[in-house]
Amino acid sequence: MNNYLKLLPAIHDLQTHPSFGQFLIDHHVEKDYMTSVLRDVVTEIREEIIHGDWVNKISSKEEMTAFIFQKGEVELENRTKYYLTKTINATGTVLHTNLGRARLSDEAIQHVVDISKGYSNLEYDISEGKRGSRHSIVESLLMELTGAESAMVVNNNAAAVFLVLRALAKNQEVIVSRGQLVEIGGSFRISAIMEESGARLVEIGTTNKTHLKDYENAITEETGMILKVHTSNFKTIGFTKTIEVSELVPLKEKKGNLIIYEDLGSGVLYDFAAHGIGEEPIIKGILEQGVDLVSFSGDKLLGGPQAGIIVGKKKLIDQLKTHQLARVLRVDKMTYAALEATLLTYLKGKHSEIPTIRDIIVPIEEILERCKLFSKQFVEKTNEFTIEIKEEGSPIGGGTMPGVEVPTYVICITHSKLSAEEVATELRQHSTPIIVRIKKNEVLLDFRTIENQEMKEMVKAFMLIG
């Protein structure tokens, strides 16, 4: 044991070794950090030797030093690599919540870069030369696109729901249909948010049916709001009845100051339904029915950054803007930049430049072309796999358009020895992780969400599996 301990170099000897200088250059780290990494490596080796766990056959100080640098490099790479990593989404789910939902357009990314790199007029009124408001950044764009009197942006749609309830319905009753008391993404429950906000939930109707008279009968002196929640991540089918906001609006006559609010969840500016995809109502249409407030996410079907957007009556939005919580829930310049660019793209009518929309409405022939292109590269390079192009459906994801599957083409892959799970695990562990779907022990690659320039990397990953 002592013999091995004697082979351990002093930290100073490591610092003056030529490899040390090379490390600092290659890995772009400072001397102190590199030293602390090497010190940890030496400590670990010393412990192993003392505990008799040392199994390496090293017989000289030079070998030991080389070994330490080798381990040091691995350690350094592990400690300094990003947690966030680009992944290839081969699931075909355009709004994959676990994979970051909407990807941003080139315009949005460029605007974020420009604005976050330097100073900007985030809260500065350039024409007046004095303090401005960040609420002004996208308000007029949102008004133009939705027809709303006013608009504001908060951190996400969950924050929007919370702010609306807290600022406008605290200590009052809020009527919600039982079928709309949804849970989104495991942890966000309308009923829990309501409790946190201090508003009192009044559940009406049954899971599958709520009638207008249920709403009417529930209105009391204490009622402050009727909340309609878009059941975005599930569908009730069969014997069902829900009330449209257009039917709820006349109830405002029964009680002064009654607020009708629809949490739209996804909220679309592009009419997917008119293109035969799903039944999502467009925001403008909901507002035209006379609803007071509507909120929706920035990174679901809108295809922008994470944000919660609230549009509706100016009187109410003004109250929200001046509430203390608005400051707590406010968004950063990067979000505003991405959102502004995304909304401008809509205004210009260039919907197809927004990746979320482009990927959802991409012609199926184009997906088939991508499949063919990939299988050509694939077949030339590997032989353990069997591949076949099949027709399938892509879910939209992100808790939107429940039950909707857009026709797509996938490549189904099987391996001569490995199970689909085993192949999927290997693909996940690739340097650029590839996330796939599995169906009937086959790996499915849905080319709706795969870009042509990602194919090379994918072929490489499959080759490594063998």
Which residues make up the interface to ligand PLP (CB under 6 A)?
A: 156-158, 161, 184, 188, 229-230, 232, 263, 265-266, 297, 308, 399
Please, what is the minimum distance in Å from the beta carbon of residue 263 to ligand PLP? 5
The separation between the first and the last C-alpha atoms of the chain, rounded to the nearest angstrom, is 42
Measured in degrees and rounded to the nearest 5, phi and psi for residue 21 equal -60, -40
| CB-nearer residue toward ligand PLP: 224 or 298 | 298
| CB-nearer residue toward ligand PLP: 146 or 232 | 232
| CB-nearer residue toward ligand PLP: 292 or 442 | 292
| CB-nearer residue toward ligand PLP: 65 or 146 | 146
Please, what is the minimum distance in Å from the beta carbon of residue 49 to ligand PLP? 52
Strand partners, 227: 176, 261
Please, what is the minimum distance in Å from the beta carbon of residue 201 to ligand PLP? 15
| CB-nearer residue toward ligand PLP: 72 or 305 | 305
Mode of pairing for the β-strands spanning 442-446 and 223-229: unpaired
Please, what is the minimum distance in Å from the beta carbon of residue 95 to ligand PLP? 10
* The two structure tokens encoding residue 243: 């009330």
Closest residue to ligand PLP, Cβ-based? 265
Q: Using alpha carbons only, what angle is made at residue 346 by residues 343 and 352, rounded to the nearest 5 degrees?
A: 125
| CA contacts within 13 A on the Cβ side of 357 | 22
| Whole-Å CA distances, 189 to 105, 129, 267, 276 | 31, 44, 18, 30
Pinpoint the alpha helices (H) of 118-206.
136-146, 157-169, 190-197
Pair 8, 42: CB distance under 8 Å:
yes
* The two structure tokens encoding residue 122: 């985030």
Please, what is the minimum distance in Å from the beta carbon of residue 464 to ligand PLP? 36
Please, what is the minimum distance in Å from the beta carbon of residue 452 to ligand PLP? 30
CA-atom Rg of the chain in angstroms: 28
The dihedral region occupied by 296, where left means phi > 0, alpha psi between -120 and 50, and beta the remainder, is: beta
Please, what is the minimum distance in Å from the beta carbon of residue 300 to ligand PLP? 6
| CB-nearer residue toward ligand PLP: 262 or 442 | 262
| CB-nearer residue toward ligand PLP: 331 or 413 | 331
